[in-house]
Amino acid sequence: HGIFLPYLISEHSHAVMKLPNGMMKRRKAFRFSNFVTNKKEFLLNVKEAWKIEIDGHMMYQMVKKMKLIRHMLNNLSWKNGNIFERVTKLRDYLKESQAKVDRCPHDDNIKTKSYKILNEYYETMNEENSLLMQKEKIEWLKDGDRNTKFFHKIIRGRMHKGRVMSVCNEKGERFEKDKVAEQFVKRFQEFLRKKDMVTSFPTDKIVSPNKFSSDEA
């Protein structure tokens, strides 16, 4: 049932709907982590799921295959465990391996292991960044138009991206902080206030394929 609240200064009355507890929950949309598309197993898993024969209507077959793909992609994203914990562990392993290389700079085995850890750490770190960017975009679509802390954090971040911390003039001199704005103003004043001699162009020198007389013009 519904309850209509006082409309106060508005021409419309707010309505509060009370829904029964037995209603089915809305099913989650088809989502997966974007970084799994860069893995070698991604296309193989999709092809294997799409080759499975399912009886029923075409739309039913597609929905069932999408569910299979979602399950495979979730397993692929969690194949190596929690990605955030993995980045932390690989960072510690990389520090230890680089310390061993410094102690034994001529040991090729230690160098090879350190190089493998470095590549794995770099790959996992890129996956983490991709996941964070995806989550940030979802939060922005959800709360971007609301006056929330997340909204103000994004606005501040975008403002900082366009901030000029220092600038160099033609002589190579660097200016920072308050002097940055002064240099921009000075630069624009130099070429906007510059006066160049302007001469009139004789009309008889204009070449046109179609010439008109004064009466025709």
Query: What would the pLDDT profile of 62-85 be if each residue is shown by its tens digit?
Result: 888 888 888 888 888 878 788 888
Residue-wise pLDDT tens digits, 79-113: 878 888 888 898 899 899 989 888 888 888 988 99
- The residue written with tokens 């033609």 in the block is 170
Element (H, E) at 129: helix 108-143
Where residue 25 falls among pLDDT bands split at 50, 70, 90?
A: low
Contact 183, 169 (CB under 8 A): yes
pLDDT-based confidence at 13, cuts 50/70/90? confident
pLDDT at residue 19, as a whole number: 73
Residues 64 and 60: their CA atoms lie apart, in Å, by 6
Is the model's pLDDT at 122 over the cut of 80?
Answer: yes
Give the residue, 208 or 60, on which the prediction is more confident: 60
Average pLDDT value over all residues in the chain: 77
Q: Which of the four pLDDT bands, split at 50, 70 and 90, describes residue 26? A: low
Single-letter code of the amino acid located at 91: R
Percent of the chain beyond pLDDT 70?
70
pLDDT value of residue 150: 58
- pLDDT for 54 equals 86
- Contact predicate 69/49, CB 8 Å: yes
Query: What are 149-177's pLDDT values in tens digits?
Result: 655 666 666 666 667 778 888 788 888 87
Confidence of residue 199 (pLDDT cuts 50, 70, 90): low
Q: Among residues 122, 15, 155, 131, which one has the least CA distance to residue 77? A: 131
- Average pLDDT, stretch 116-139? 79
Element (H, E) at 183: helix 179-192
Backbone angles phi, psi at 2, to 5 degrees: -120, 150
Average pLDDT over residues 186-201: 69
**In whole angstroms, how far apart are CA 161 and each of 8, 16, 45, 128, 178?**
44, 43, 39, 21, 18
Residue 48: pLDDT over 70: yes
Question: Phi/psi of residue 167, each to 5°?
Answer: -150, 150
Determine the Cα–Cα distance for residues 31 and 38; give it in Å rounded to an integer: 16
Give domain limits for the chain: 33-79, 81-162
Any idea what DSSP says for residue 5?
P
State pTM to two decimals.
Answer: 0.45
Residue 198 has pLDDT above 70, yes or no: no
